[in-house]
A = this chain, B = another copy of it.
Amino acid sequence: MTQPESSDQYRRLRVALLGAGAVGSQVADLLLRHGDELADRAGASLELAGIAVRDVDAPRDVELPKELFTTDAESLIVGSDIVIELMGGIEPARGNLLLALNSGADVVTANKALLATHGTELFEAADQVGASVYYEAAAAGAIPIIRPLRDSLAGDRVVRIMGIVNGTTNYILDRMDSEGADFADVLADAQRLGYAEADPTADVEGHDAAQKAAILASLAFHTTVPLDAVHCEGITGITASMIDEARAAGFVIKLLAVCERITVDGAESISVRVYPALVARSHPLASVHGANNAVFVEAEAAGSLMFYGAGAGGVQTASAVLGDVVSAARRHIAGGVGVGESTRANLPIVPIGHVITRYQITLEVNDQPGVLATIAGILSEGGVSVATVVQTVEGEDDTTARLVIGTHRAAEQALSDTVENLAASEVVERVVSVLRVEGE
């Protein structure tokens, strides 16, 4: 079954699979069913040598030959040409991949948590032995973004990436936007429908997006971006009324991973951050609906590019994994050493305070004469210049009003200091929300 007739002409490569969850079982199934085609494309016969799992008898999404399963990952790894890691988590995935590289195998992984925290260690281990680490499935599911960033744009300078890289949060925000529903209600429904996990923390707090942002920024800026250098805010504070106000102003709220080249004190630097941001409804990212993902890339020469597709899903992610397996196989056949990651630019990563963008500040204020002058004064003192003010009267007693203030571009630090001063002012009852505007 693993050895289709017509592939006998090819050299055989031993492929080890670690993990047989939603993605792993699809990868195994496609390897077995499409063996002939894959052999033709890779120029090598891909022999699935085994699947390492914790529990051989656990139920799988796809039926797979029982004899392929083993609990002994290490024996499977040693002697393999290509090792596919789809276990997730840090250990034993990290140890297994280091063993694989040191045994001379190329590795394929979709493990974004591992890459965002131990990527450098893996890339260096690969460089040592002339092997390669492939990870197309780790950044945006089935959307091919790694090769475009690493190869196609290698002769260009990426200026900015804005990515919708988490399907769960895009699904939630999109439904909040189209239905006027509350976060908690949509989250509960998303959990029921399988779009969100029972513990949704990694998605809704932005941790998953932050891991992907670290991977994308490292590639785009040829600089190692550690996970803890990524500023991260989630969407749990987004309310139906914030989305209403965004819509009224021509925006939609999206959880964005922003990776940006910026100049701080004359030095070229980068900023990497994840937060819910206002995006103009006319921007291509605004029309990314449901659980889909998209990565919008601005480069000096190439201009604006967008890559769009399914961000997750077992079989979709399996497509990206198998593309990597074919690439690894071709490299094995072609000979030569693997091409490592280029992190030689080594740009400084600046904290969020240096980021310059526009803001939309919503305040609940006393509805009395002179309030606007007081607030304008606080903003002006803080160095934050006002572009637009929209006032709406709130409540039946007419004692409070709501002000939506759109600022000109300002530094995050100046803005947050100013917001503190606004909150402390006696004319301000409440700072309802502060949102950044991206993609202008």
Residues of A within 8 A of B (CB): 26, 30, 34, 37-38, 40-43, 136, 142-144, 146-148, 151-157, 222, 284, 287, 299-310, 313, 315-316, 318-327, 330-331, 334-339, 342, 344-345
Contacts and interface: CB of A to CB of B under 8 A. Distances in A.
Contacts of A301: 26, 30, 142, 315-316, 318-319, 322
A43 B127 CA distance: 13
A225 B331 CA distance: 26
Contacts of A331: 336, 339
A30 B320 CA distance: 32
14 contacts: A30-B301, A34-B157, A41-B222, A136-B152, A144-B152, A144-B305, A147-B148, A147-B151, A152-B323, A284-B287, A308-B308, A334-B338, A335-B335, A335-B337
A326 B155 contact: yes
Given A310-B302, A336-B334, A155 B40 contact: no
A40 B344 contact: yes
A198 B293 CA distance: 41
A295 to B, nearest CB: 11
A336 B106 CA distance: 15
B326 A151 contact: yes
Nearest to A345: B40
A237 to B, nearest CB: 31
Contacts of A34: 155, 157
Contacts of A310: 302-305
Contacts of A146: 152
Given A144-B305, A147-B147, A155-B322, 18 more contacts: A26-B301, A30-B301, A40-B344, A41-B342, A43-B342, A144-B147, A144-B148, A147-B148, A151-B323, A154-B323, A156-B319, A156-B323, A287-B287, A301-B316, A302-B309, A302-B310, A306-B308, A335-B336
